[in-house]
Amino acid sequence: AAKPENQAPNVPDWSKTLGDGVAVRAYGKPSKYEAHVVRRDVEWLTASRESSVSFTPLHEIEGPITPNSLCFERHHGGIAEIDPADHQLMIHGLVDKPLIYTLADLKRMPRVNRVYFAECAANSGMEWRGAQLNGCQYTHGMIHSLMYTGVPLKVLLEQAGLKNNAKWLLLEGADASGMTRSLPLAKALDDVLIAYKMNGEALRPENGYPMRAVIPGWEANMWVKWIRRIKVGDEPWHHREETSKYTDLLENGTARRFTYIMDAKSVITNPSPQAPLTHRKGFTVLSGIAWSGRGKVARVDISLDGGRNWRAARLDGPVWNKAVTRFYYEFDWDGSELLLQSRAQDDTGYVQPTKVALRKVRGVNSIYHNNGIQTWQVRPNGEVENVEVG
């Protein structure tokens, strides 16, 4: 609670005594007054905590980059705690020369730094049938956007030498989940990385330490963590995560498969249900994020009235390819009810659809790839709720 004796014009306690010396917090951590800013999970969502998800607190962060400690986590067999001395990445199959790389080997190879978003295909998955979870952390928090340092997979494949009939890769993780995904070779040669750093520091164990696949713009399920094996083949393997899971069951009973690319999407992070407006009326800043798996965010539009009128938001900071872009919209709030929406458009011209339009094409059986426009209702008292408009 606030202490008047510490507030201006008084001299606060911390001006009167010396604080901690250097290196007391040898690997830094946030202020104890920020203890509410954490990843959170939804207990009823999954049967176990080992195969589960925690969500990024999107309403508590700013800019285009996610702090490492707050990145959503999704694992199907718990966190593998791997000693890099015991970890290797094997490349075999349709290659001239099977190879094995240690982390030290990767660090002796040419590396690049790139910012990309990773969004789980199941992000917003609980919202297919109607507004459900009350907070952008839960509706949209299965996304993070990080600067990766890693080696282009192309470099490793060239060292192994691809056979003429090579067309697909199988990526396998070292954790207990048996995570395996088929990846088209063309994508691997384009922009896939084997990364070992995030935002400059070593990958965190929960995000794949010591190495993970980075598959820019594509569903995060394919970003195999703790990657230990890449097999080169001539056709996809049709494993669990690309058959029974990560396919979209349509209204007519058939399923969309291999829906890799995450289409353009956006969400207003402030205000939102966990971050109400507390100032009643007056100058108000809307903050939000937009992204597209097809390229750069070209523009974001904002509606204050549930999609009837639209005005351009201001993109702020770097607009990277296949990364999160921050946007703002400033306005004078008259204190009346608002139906806030954001709508992203990418540089291919693709425009984020309404939920109504999306359901017309995709039905409501799906869990995955819900990129419909989100609506937040702001009440005159500043409280915010997850709603839908017709």
Residue ranges binding Co ion (CB under 5 A): 74, 120, 220-221
Place of tokens 């609506």: 375
Q: Binding pattern to ligand MTE, positions 120-159, x when CB under 6 A?
A: x-----------------------x---------------
Prior bond of 271 cis (ω within 30°): yes
Pairwise CA distance, residues 225 & 150, whole Å: 13
Span of 84-92, 216-224, 297-305, 350-358 interacting with ligand MTE by CB under 6 A: 216-224
DSSP symbol at 355: H
177 binds, among ligand MTE, Co ion, none (CB under 5 to 8 A by kind): ligand MTE
SS3 176: coil
Stretch that binds ligand MTE, among 4-12, 175-183, 187-195, 359-367 (CB under 6 A): 175-183
Provide the pairing of β-strand 227-233 with 89-93.
parallel
* Number of neighbours of residue 74 by Cβ within 10 angstroms: 21
Residue 256: partners with Cβ closer than 8 Å, 6 or more residues away: 247, 248, 250, 362
Q: How many residues bind ligand MTE (CB under 6 A)?
A: 22
Task: State the DSSP string of 228-276.
Answer: EEEEEESS----GGGTTSS-EE-TTS-EE----B---EEEEEESBTTB-
Of 89, 94, 131, 220, the residue at the interface with ligand MTE (CB under 6 A) is: 220
Least separation in angstroms between residue 99's CB and Co ion is 29
Chosen residue from 58, 66, 70, 73 binding ligand MTE by CB under 6 A: 73
Closer residue to Co ion, CB minimum distance, 221 or 270: 221
In the bound state with ligand MTE, the residue whose beta carbon lies nearer, of 80 and 99, is: 80
Tell me the closest approach of the beta carbon of residue 228 to ligand MTE, in angstroms: 9
φ/ψ (deg, to 5) at 24 = -65, -35
223 binds ligand MTE (CB under 6 A): yes
Site of interaction with ligand MTE (CB under 6 A): 71-77, 118, 120, 144, 173, 175, 177, 179, 206-207, 220-221, 223-226
